[in-house]
A and B are shown apart, each in its own frame.
Chain A
Amino acid sequence: MGAGHGGPLGSAYVARDSVVHRLPAHVSLVAVVGFALVVVATPVRTAWAPAYAGYAVLVLAAAALARVPAARLARGLVVEVPFVVFALLLPLVARGPRVEVLGLSLSEGGLVAAGGLLAKATLSVLAATVLAATTTPQDLVRGLQRLRLPAVLVQILSFMVRYADVVTGELRRMRVARESRGFRGRGPGALRVVAGTAGALFVRSYERGERVHLAMLARGGDGRLPTGPAVAVPARAWLTGLALPLAAGAVLAAGMLGA
């Protein structure tokens, strides 16, 4: 989605012109998944801290190359919050040798595990945030299609991207209409009204689905979404894209050899 257009899905995208933005979506996808796999495969031990620092440098370099603002990266990390809560619990509940930190008796193993969990989650979420900031939702779906994701899943995602704005628009109008007649969403009584709205939205979306299907049939549709020919990707784009996971892999290999 272009600059200046928010929308529920488009808001993740940061419109810029950079090497990372120009990468074909499926190359970026492979790069991010590859990077995440390397990060996850790295052992959780104190001795491996430099490797994690290396990964952080790599993913931040990619973000800098793509000129993704730091604030955007920070916003991306919000999805990590549940992991953080879990990680913070680990040192308290894990067993084994204890250490005193600020008067709290914490498990040493738990601390290391929590650190590892946090590091892995943060690095992977950062990489995914860079991906979302440099690839439009439409291109992501197309990338998944090129990576041979089953057609039905591609279609579901594709419709989600197309209709997210339409459905949230409907929801917003229903909310405005509700509130214009004095409704305040407070207390248990409001639940009944909100449930009614959800039901109405479901029925409307279902009916829209039927109309979309009708419009497809009217143009000779048979349930498939035909797409154009795939453009060949030059080897250089693959090399550029895979630089991130390859460099991360090199860091991991160096650690293995050193250990």
Chain B
Amino acid sequence: MSKNSHLSIFLKGILLENPVFVLILGTCPTLATTTTVIGALGMGLAAAAVLVCSNMAISLLRKVIPDTVRIPCYIVIIAGFVTLVQMFVHAYLPALYDMLGVYLALITVNCIILGRAEMFAGKNTVGKAALDGLGMGIGFTLALLSMATIREILGAGSFAGIAIPFLSDHKIEIFTKAPGGFLVYGIMIAVVYKLTHGKAPRKREFGCEGCPSAGMCHAGTCAKEDA
């Protein structure tokens, strides 16, 4: 049972609670970095690394961090890890650093990471938080990768920079632009909804019941905070 629940923590991030397609978090980097497969992969892995590290650190410190200043603490920890990743990428993968540009630094304010810190890591043990971070990170990476694959193949006629015969002569350039990004994003959300139909959290309405995170959120927290 325990083993099973650990596995489910890891797996739910990949599809059932995929941060991009189900939780609709991190939309900005999703649209911005999915024009190329390499960029998407780099972005996904960088975010995943930060997610695992920050989840573990926050889970470790969850008893130490006072409730009133938890958000500033989370942000400091996340920003610290993002800067670490940024420095390493700049030093060892300069090409990727140039490709991701400002979005690398913006992982700090990526709501997936703060969202997982607030919703999961702050309330669970280190092991579970690490698994959650890993699952969510892989889910984020896969989501970016799938979108980037579609956008790069159709929009630029190539995959990971390698030109595909025929398609490279018939590019549909809109896919590399913002409208194409929204188009693919919307379709992917629909497909994932269909695949997980009945299992994924439903968005009934705005508020606690409609919140996709309501499943793991202590019901009524929002209401209390609002009041």
- Do A and B pair up? The answer is no
